[in-house]
Structure 1
């Protein structure tokens, strides 16, 4: 089963939603048969590499609300994150453009097509951004996180300004537009079923089971009224007839 996920590193609900999804996938009985690909999405491509103000000041200016209102919104998100064991520090968060980090995620997928390195890096980027107050646009930070996730340092550094990787980021964003995705996180199961937002863990549990069962239907014995034993008649097997 193939699952595609669109998300942005600078998105707290993406951090929460992907955490819930990963926990559901870990306990899914058929998780070895699930291929997960993380796709790029940018909530604000116009952000500079480094923004001098706070996250509350940035959101207030972008949405036309007060800093106090922005801080209240952050408090609600932080509470939701805490229920998942995540610590979101909006007071120390370094507001920065996520484009370089997205290029790096594509390089991680190229280096490890299984997606495992990419997903480790994605989690490290979330923690660096929301918990540690590190800039997700700083090349030194990005290369360090990439090597910790399992990438080669030289490859990671080269990816940060690589036009080929940037084209892959742009293609992901264009594909999101084609699919009508306007908010993240967004999960697409088997190329057909969409789940929008950081849904409760139970939603991901049910979705994984439902789509897997649809793709792998089990054959049920035929029951014919009046013909006892019809569905389990004599047959030959590996141990004989």
Structure 2
């Protein structure tokens, strides 16, 4: 089976832009997806107004290019709120915790975090919010809570950054296909908003589908 290594961050707007492309990959037979969370926001961060406005502009471009939804609760509530904390560690820990309980739930948990953040304006760095999202996708509350607090998230982030450095990857999202012992970068920027064309391009280039 071929594997796509997906280097991501739950709080990366361009990873949200790439979500339909990743979903298309997940539907392809003979292809597995391995998630590598990289920690875009390494420490709890309050953003200055200029940075929040820069993100707002990027979000507008993403919405125009991809049709991805940015809800009023995010645009008019969470994003302009100076008390909002951006912090990747707890969100990546949640994806790892979901994966530890059910490997098939990792991408589902990532999607739930993205929707909660960008559409519903939830504070996804907070443990109760992450637990509620996990139960919402069918994971048991107690088991998820234990896993969330125990997963080796710092080691995972360090490993991801090491792999990215080895491969010369400059940021998120990055997609690397491993097929028959070879690694191939999957260009994706030109396919934002065009998941069907993205899938067709991969099917045309590689023989595993």
Quickly name the TM-score band, shorter chain normalised: 0.7 to 0.9
Quick check: 2:7–2:174 contact (8 Å CA) kept in 1? Answer: yes
Who is 2:70 aligned against?
A: 87
Q: Does 1:76 align with 2:61?
A: yes
More relative contact order, 1 or 2 (CA 8 Å, 6+ apart) = 2
Distance apart, 1:21 and its partner CA:
3.0
Match of 1:206 among 197, 201, 206: 201
My pick for the range that moved more, 87-96 or 14-23, is 87-96
CA distance change for structure 1 residues 36 and 92 in 2, over 3 Å: closer, same or farther? same
| 1:25-174 equivalence runs, <5 A | 25-26=26-27, 31-48=28-45, 51=46, 57=49, 59=51, 67=53, 71-82=56-67, 84=68, 86-88=69-71, 89-93=74-78, 94-113=84-103, 116-162=104-150, 164-174=152-162
User: What is the rounded CA distance, in whole Å, between the counterparts of 1:174 and 1:58 in structure 2?
Assistant: 31
Distance in 2 between the 1:58 and 1:161 partners? 34
Runs (5+) with no aligned partner, structure 1: 61-66, 217-241
Cα 1:72/1:32, change in 2 over 3 Å: closer
RMSD: 2.5
SS at structure 2 position matched to 1:182: coil
TM-score, scaled to structure 2: 0.79
Which protein is bigger by CA-based radius of gyration?
1
Q: Is contact 1:98-1:136 (8 Å) kept?
A: no
TM-score relative to the length of structure 1: 0.70
Give the distance between the partners of 2:33 and 2:118, measured in 1 at CA: 23
